[in-house]
Amino acid sequence: MIQIKEVKTKDDFEKFYGIYEKVYGDNPYFVYPIKKDYLKYIKGQNNDLGMFPYITIMATDENEDCLGRLIAFVDTKLNDYNGLKVGYIAEYEAVDNLEVSKKLLDRAVEFFKSQGMDTAKGPVALPGGDDNRGFIIDNFDRMPSIMNKYNPPYYNDHFTEFGFEKYHDVYAYRAEINDLEDKVAKLEVLLPKIEERYGYKVYTADMKNNLKRETESVYQVLEKGMPEEWEDFSPISKEEITNIVNAIKPYADEDLIMIARNNEGEPIGFTLALPDYNEILKDFKGKLGILEGIKFLLRRKSIKRLRVFVLFVIPEYRDKGVTSAMYFKSFKNAAKKGYRYLEGSTIWDYNKKMQNDIEKFGATIDITYRIYRKSI
């Protein structure tokens, strides 16, 4: 008999994590998250989950083994900003059993209704995150980049069988850096003239010596550059930005983080890329002890893929080559450091401007992730 229980005890959280072994085993494309970090993450210790109503649940059998799990939450800040009543589903994993998925999703919907919601969406990142968004619907034969989701194909069936429909797709674009050489060479000639004409310049971020200034710059760009019509986003606070910057700082390569400034020194755009540490973490199977730590340090400079996470430009500079200038400098630095591939993700299907910009550089859609929606 399948039962749904809230995850509360240390043993419960161990089982919540342990579902990965049941679902993925030694699947070569799945990367186990580092266990100690992941347990902090799902407890809301390094994100904004604790600010909102949420439940962490799992489906168990008669032996109390975990067969599936999820986190359901209500982002009241996002809902209030956009005038919505949406409950969100995150961290869904389950064995291939429709009874298990139905009971999990039933409980999530029950929770959403108790909070006055009329819509369910998922899977999404936990509040304040930019990870594990959507289910893969194509190309299951490759390893996603860091902080992106991998899943079996049947997860999509679990949601559609329950009545979920497509809400939006988000894309992971891929390019080989060597293939961009011609475009980079042309931009090397054109961009100085464009920058001079419109009065701006692109710099690598100084995370070591001017972290506070760079964090403030990112905040200022997001404050002006976040489109109001994006209903899945809300204005971000300085505290949230600071938390994000502090979280990524240990893993960041500042040569891959660009900030554009006008002639007065004011920030007008930024882009963030990280090395794809999945290339190393895939061999650790969730462990990060002393031995794994040494291996990580020895191998981190051998990583060949990077992930471009975000790129924002304030409205008055959006048609003045700033995006191309930031891409250009990122790609040039990446090539110097030996990176061979880049992934731009995740880009929403309605963000045509970003799609056009990255496609101009020769990148193509590699993986499609689907986010689902259901009226409740």
In the chain the domains, ranked by start, together with CATH numbers, are 3-129 (3.40.630.30), 175-367 (3.40.630.30)
H or E segment to which residue 360 belongs: helix 352-360
| Contact (Cβ atoms closer than 8 angstroms) between residue 144 and residue 131 | no
- Chain-centroid distance of CA 210 in Å reads 25
100-130 pLDDT, tens digit each:
999 999 999 999 999 999 999 999 998 867 7
Given this model, what pLDDT does residue 231 score?
Answer: 67
Give CA separation, 206 vs 78, 246, 256, 343, 360, in Å.
31, 14, 11, 23, 28
Can you tell me the mean pLDDT for 350-368? 89
Tell me which residue of 70, 55, 68 sits closest to 2, measured CA to CA.
68
Tell me which residue of 245, 163, 172, 169 sits closest to 207, measured CA to CA.
245
CA distance 348 to 369: 9
Tell me which residue of 246, 28, 243, 232 sits closest to 142, measured CA to CA.
28
Report helix, strand or coil for 371.
strand
Given this model, what pLDDT does residue 181 score?
Answer: 74
Given this model, what pLDDT does residue 195 score?
Answer: 92
pLDDT bucket at 232, cuts 50 / 70 / 90: confident
Given this model, what pLDDT does residue 360 score?
Answer: 83
Kindly report whether the peptide bond that precedes residue 76 is cis, defined as omega within 30 degrees of 0.
Answer: no
